Amino acid sequence: GAVVMGGLFAAIAALTIPDAPPMVVLTTMALAGMTAGAIWLAIGGALRHYRAVNETISSLLLNYIAIALLNHLVTSTFRDPESLNHPSTHHIGEANMIGLIPGTDLHWGLAFGIVACVLSWFLMHHTVFGFSSQIAGGNVRAAQIAGLPVGRLILIVCCVAGAAGGLAGMVEVAAIHGRANDTLNANYGYAGILVAFVARNNPLAIIPVAVLLGGIRASSGLLQRVHELPDATVLVMQGIIFLVILFSETLYGRFSRMPKEGAA
């Protein structure tokens, strides 16, 4: 939901200042996307804080509202009349697009993601806020006993995560599509959950895991052309990875609790 809202409002923000310099447009898009994403995910944080609703469930359910809002706005108020068969907003302009990393076919969004992971690692492991957030995330009761403001921490973490998602949506628009449309709804949230699970919530481990799973996802077209496999093959491969890791953790936990041979 945060990615969808971030991409949508980033595109809208770019269209409000069409004659501004590219750097101003991109900065405005980033701020608009991050703000929209933060506000959207803060709804889930508020539901967790005030109504004890699981934030994962509420944010996943909010996805459908975000998608419906996106589809409504790109087919009515902000629709480009020339987008006949694929309703979209107007193009943000080629001058405002994020370019490719020199010598590669990769855009600068990859660099943004790596920097975000490094900053997240520093925030979670070298600041009081990060330490407090890890305690609250691991054991809410222990955090409350320690006197930590659990509700406020949940809201702040949701806002930060939403801002990151909104920035990802902005990059999706500024680096790939140039406009907001239903391509923003690419199930990035579910892929993100899988990446975080495999990386064991370690921001630095997210980098290689995301590259691996991203490569698998990008191979979809190649698998269809060369091996004539269906598009769902990539989803099956991701599911197998998830199940293997889950099964291995279950076995490890079971055997680690078994009494060692020769123990009294």
Across 147-162, average pLDDT: 91
**Residue of 228 and 80 predicted with greater confidence:** 80
Helices 203-218 & 188-198 angle (0-180, nearest 10)? 130
Q: Is the pLDDT of residue 264 over 50?
A: no
**Ranges 31-35, 36-40, 137-141, 253-257: which has the least confidence:** 253-257
CA 21, CA 26: separation in Å to the nearest integer?
Answer: 9
Confidence of residue 100 (pLDDT cuts 50, 70, 90): confident
Instruction: Grade residue 161 by pLDDT with cuts at 50, 70 and 90.
Output: very high
Output the pLDDT for position 246. Answer: 81
pLDDT classification of 34: cutoffs 50, 70, 90: very high
Instruction: Tell me which of 45-59, 123-137, 167-181, 211-225 is least confident.
Output: 211-225
Using 50, 70 and 90 to split pLDDT, how confident is the model at 259? low
What confidence score (pLDDT) does residue 109 get? 86
Q: Is the pLDDT of residue 261 over 70?
A: no
Question: Which position has the token pair 């898009």?
Answer: 29
Three-point CA angle 214, 111, 154, nearest 5°: 80
Residues shown for the chain = 264
Domain boundaries, given as residue ranges, for the chain: 2-186, 207-258
pLDDT of residue 260: 56
pLDDT band at residue 241 using 50, 70 and 90 as cut-offs: confident
Residue 159's pLDDT band (cuts 50, 70, 90): very high
Confidence of residue 236 (pLDDT cuts 50, 70, 90): confident
Task: Say which residue, 253 or 69, is predicted with more confidence.
Answer: 69
| Mean pLDDT, the chain, whole residue set | 87
Tokens of 192: 């993100």
Which candidate, 28, 10, 40, 37, places its Cα nearest to that of 178?
10
